[in-house]
A and B are shown apart, each in its own frame.
Chain A
Amino acid sequence: MTILCKLLDIPDGGSLGVSPNARGRDQIVLIRKGADVFAYRNNCPHYDRAPLGWKKDEFLNKDQNRIMCAAHGALFRIEDGECVVGPCLGQKLEKLSVGVIGDDVVLNVS
Chain B
Amino acid sequence: MRILGPDELIFGVDNLEASAAFLRDYGLDESEPGRFLALDGTGISIKEKHDPSLPPPLPTATMLRQTIWGVEDDDALSEIEAELSKDREVTRHEDGSISCKDDSNFEIAFRVTKRKLLNLPPELINSPGAEPGRAANVIGANEDAEAKPRTMSHIVFFTPDMEKMSKFYIERLGFVVTDRFTNTGPFLRPQSNDDHHVLFMIQTPDYMQGLEHVAFHMQGPTELMLAGSRMVKKGYESFWGPGRHKFGSNWFWYFNSPLGTHVEYDADMDKHDGEWIAREAQLSKEASQMFLFENVEKWAPGGPPPGKK
Using a CB–CB cutoff of 8 Å, the interface residues on chain A facing chain B are 23-24, 50-56, 58, 61-62, 68-75, 85-87, 89
Contacts and interface: CB of A to CB of B under 8 A. Distances in A.
B31 interface: no
A98 B217 CA distance: 44
Contact of A54 (B60, B211, B256, B295): B256
Contacts of B248: none
Contact of B18 (A58, A75, A89): A58
B260 interface: yes
A66 to B, nearest CB: 9
A103 to B, nearest CB: 26
Given A72-B62, A72-B260, A51 B239 contact: yes
A55 B237 contact: yes
Given A58-B18, A72-B208, 9 more contacts: A24-B297, A54-B257, A54-B258, A55-B22, A70-B260, A73-B14, A73-B260, A87-B158, A89-B207
Nearest to B208: A87
Given A54-B257, A71-B256, A72-B210, A85 B237 contact: no
A55 B232 CA distance: 9
B14 A86 contact: no
B236 A55 contact: yes
B44 interface: no
Interface string B184-213: 000000000000000000001001101110
16 contacts: A23-B295, A50-B239, A51-B239, A51-B256, A53-B237, A54-B236, A55-B258, A61-B14, A62-B15, A70-B256, A71-B239, A72-B158, A72-B211, A72-B262, A85-B60, A87-B158
Contacts of A85: 60-61, 207
B302 interface: no
A55 B62 CA distance: 19
B62, B158, B208, B297 pick with most chain A CB within 10 angstroms: B208
Contacts of A71: 239, 256, 260-262
Nearest to A22: B296
Nearest to B207: A89
Contacts of A50: 239
A58, A74, A75 pick with most chain B CB within 10 angstroms: A58
